[in-house]
Amino acid sequence: MGNMKDLSIKKLYYSISEVSKITDIEQYVLRYWETEFEQLQPQKNRAGNRIYTNKDIQLILYIKELLRGKKYTIEGAKKILDENELGKLPAVEVKDKKVKADKELTTDTEDNHSSLKEDLEEVKSFLKLLNTKL
């Protein structure tokens, strides 16, 4: 089914309106986050419009998860982004794991396992989102 179309979906750059649709975040919020999070610095094209990469989109989804999913404040989310390179577990989860590891190592590895699974699920749904929204 329409295979050629699928190839064109993997764009290198997205406009702010596309990113807004993909991430389900208002454009003014995206622009505000840019002023707050130094990690989020989309490039601008010659016309001065923001152009977002897939990495930018993943960062936005991570910030969205911290602020809206985990209910962090902007300051709290900033700290986490400063402490972790993208893709690492938020500090809170890591602390929980250390506590568990003291009791018994087996639960710790199982924990890691499930969070990896969740990450993969998240990536899968993100890709699905990309395919449906654009």
Q: Which CATH number goes with the domain that contains 123? A: 1.10.1660.10
Residue 3 has pLDDT above 90, yes or no: no
Supply the pLDDT for residue 83.
85
**Domain tally for the chain?**
1
Residues 6+ apart with CB under 8 A from 32: none
What global pTM score does this model have? 0.57
Structural domain of 78: 3-133
Provide the angle, in degrees to the nearest 10, between the axes of the packed helices 105-133 and 91-103.
150
H/E stretch holding 44 reads strand 43-44
For residue 7, with 0-12 CB atoms within 10 Å meaning exposed, 13-18 middle and 19 or more buried, which class applies?
A: exposed
Supply the pLDDT for residue 122.
73
